[in-house]
Amino acid sequence: MDSIGPTRRQLSGQSGALVASAAVWNNPLLTQAFAAQPGEEIIPWSDQPSLDPEVARGVIQNLQRWEDPDLLTPNSRSFNIAHYNRPKIDEQDWSLEITGLVRKPARFRLSDIKARPRDELTCTLECSGNNGRPSFLTGIGTARWAGTSLAAMLREAELLDSSIEVVFVGADTGEEQVREIKMPTSFARSMGVGDAMSPNNLLCYEMNGAPLPPEHGFPLRLIAPGWYGIANVKWLRRIEVRATRLENRFMGRDYVTIREEKHDGRTDWVETSVGRAQIKSAPARVVREDGHYKIVGMAWGAPIARVEVSIDGGLWQIATIDPTRQEKYAWRLWSLDWPASEPGEHAITVRAIGADGSVQPAPTDPQIAGKHTYWESNGQITRHIRLS
């Protein structure tokens, strides 16, 4: 488990009710290691995005201030996204079907799934639209998920040799139109058989120790570590193995990154399905304590080797990464002391460097500069702040 100590803020009474028992301090779900400390003053960013952006109205709910993310995001502070409706499912009426190109199709009640071997994993989930729009900045959170192995269930179902695709179908429905055809449709995303069989994928019924909240997919959702949020299908009702690729709105139309690429001296416009998470970091807040400043932020999307900060376009300085959190799919906390800060406007840019040497791209990198859609915007983020 993640062991996170108490914070001075909690000890000082902000969450006075929690000070009751020592056990609380050992419960990572209740401790906010990343919350502001007493004596620290958070300096507000001068570029503040809306927490209720027009473009996302109805689709994205519960966006939080980015200044105080926690190492584990409490369920009450976790953003949620629904492209169609948010079904309220009664456990009695629900089952999960595994069907299609399998030798042994099966149907499971929630109790059947809970009776299977239990697995837990801390995983950061980022919406692929996060930061792609100036107004959408906090579509990310980290939770401790519990469920059972997807791969084990697929193995038991015995996939036929012709299978290439595993489709995850949700209970939420909406209407789509392609050319002149209007159709009622269910939310669905898919993975190739190889990706679906990854031992990391969990069918989850718990989020931070609580039953999966309705808006996060009760009774069962897929958690696919290493993928953008869209792959993590909520309100799962069917898993279907197929011999053809799914090319619906969420695989092949809307959730498509369009990018200009240079090949052999000519430009090709390339459309790719939103896929795996990518290395990323962002400054979360600047705090002042005893007259000096500290920049604190998060890094995620790939195993992180280093985080670097550039202030006002200056040299990259190496931030200190919090060593207490080493889980592969959970974000890392970092901080940098900022001693010589002049009054006035400042720009703070961060980049993460992965264990594999990959660098979070600059806005001028062809990966970012050539991109015409807002999805998969993992370019370096610059925030602005005014010091007095």
Ligand X SMILES: Nc1nc2c(c(=O)[nH]1)N[C@H]1C(S)=C(S)[C@@H](COP(=O)(O)O)O[C@H]1N2
**Cβ 144 to ligand X, closest distance in Å?**
13
The tokens for 215 are: 């808006």
Q: Is 235 in the site for ligand X (CB under 6 A)?
A: yes
CA atoms within 13 Å, Cβ hemisphere of 331: 28
For Mo ion, which residue of 63, 127, 137, 154 counts as binding (CB under 5 A)?
127
Q: Which does 79 bind (CB under 5 to 8 A by kind): ligand X, Mo ion, none?
A: ligand X
Q: Does residue 243 sit in helix, strand or coil?
A: coil
Shortest CB 214 distance to ligand X, Å: 11
Least Å distance between CB 81 and ligand X?
A: 4
Question: Considering beta carbons, is residue 9 or 83 the nearer one to ligand X?
Answer: 83
167 binds ligand X (CB under 6 A): no
Q: Which helix (H) or strand (E) holds 192?
A: strand 181-192
Whose Cβ is closer to ligand X: residue 216's or residue 259's? 216
> Cβ 55 to Mo ion, closest distance in Å?
13
Asked whether position 239 contacts ligand X by CB under 6 A, the answer is no
Nearer to ligand X, 153 or 204 (CB): 204
Question: Which one among 100, 229, 283, 361 touches Mo ion, defined by CB under 5 A?
Answer: 229
Instruction: Return the structure tokens found at 381.
Output: 């983020």
Per CB under 6 A, does 216 bind ligand X? Answer: yes
Among 29, 72, 36, 14, smallest CA distance to 289 is for 36
First to last CA, the chain: 42
Span from 74-82, 150-158, 319-327, 380-388 in contact with ligand X (CB under 6 A): 74-82
In the list ligand X, Mo ion, none, the entry touching 281 (Cβ below 5 to 8 angstroms by class) is none
Tell me whether residue 77 or residue 83 sits nearer to ligand X (CB atom).
Answer: 83
Task: Evaluate whether 128 touches 275 at the Cβ level (below 8 Å).
Answer: no
Q: Which of 240, 260, 256, 304 is nearest to 278 (CA)?
A: 304
Nearest CB to Mo ion, comparing residues 234 and 237: 234
Q: Quick one: which segment of 192-200, 232-240, 281-289, 353-361 binds ligand X (CB under 6 A)?
A: 232-240
**Which among 97-105, 111-119, 208-216, 229-237 is the span making contact with Mo ion, rule CB under 5 A?**
229-237
Q: Which is nearer to ligand X, 98 or 125 (CB)?
A: 125
Binds ligand X (CB under 6 A): choice among 83, 114, 242, 288 = 83
> Element (H or E) spanning 41, and its range?
strand 41-43
**Site residues for ligand X, window 293-352 (CB under 6 A)?**
none
287 contributes a contact to ligand X by CB under 6 A: no
Q: Does 82 bind ligand X (CB under 6 A)?
A: yes
What is the size of the binding site for Mo ion (CB under 5 A)? 3
Q: Site for ligand X (CB under 6 A): which residue of 64, 75, 80, 200?
A: 80
Does the CA dihedral 236-242-247-251 come out positive or negative? positive
Cα–Cα distance measured from residue 136 to residue 53, given in angstroms and rounded to the nearest whole number: 7
CA distances from 31 to 18, 73, 215 (A): 9, 10, 23
Which of residues 72, 123, 125, 196 is near ligand X by CB under 6 A? 125
- Non-local (6+) Cβ contacts of 93 within 8 A are none
Q: Which one, 141 or 229, has the nearer CB to Mo ion?
A: 229
Six-digit token pair at 317? Answer: 């300085």
β-bridge partners, 295: 286, 336
Q: Tell me the closest approach of the beta carbon of residue 380 to Mo ion, in angstroms.
A: 21
Helix, coil or strand: residue 233? coil
11-50 CB burial, b ≥16 within 10 A, e <16: eeeebeebeeeeebbeebbbbbbbbbeeebeebebeeebe
In the complex with Mo ion, which residue's Cβ is closer, 132 or 379? 132
State the minimum distance, in angstroms, from the CB of residue 133 to ligand X: 14
Q: Which residues contact 188 (CB under 8 A, 6 or more apart)?
A: 167, 168, 169, 170, 233, 246, 248, 250, 251
- Asked whether 298 and 281 are in contact (CB, 8 A), the reply is yes
Judged by the rule CB under 5 A, the positions of this chain that interact with Mo ion are 127, 229-230
Binding site for ligand X (CB under 6 A): 78-83, 125, 127, 170, 172, 187, 216, 229-230, 232-235
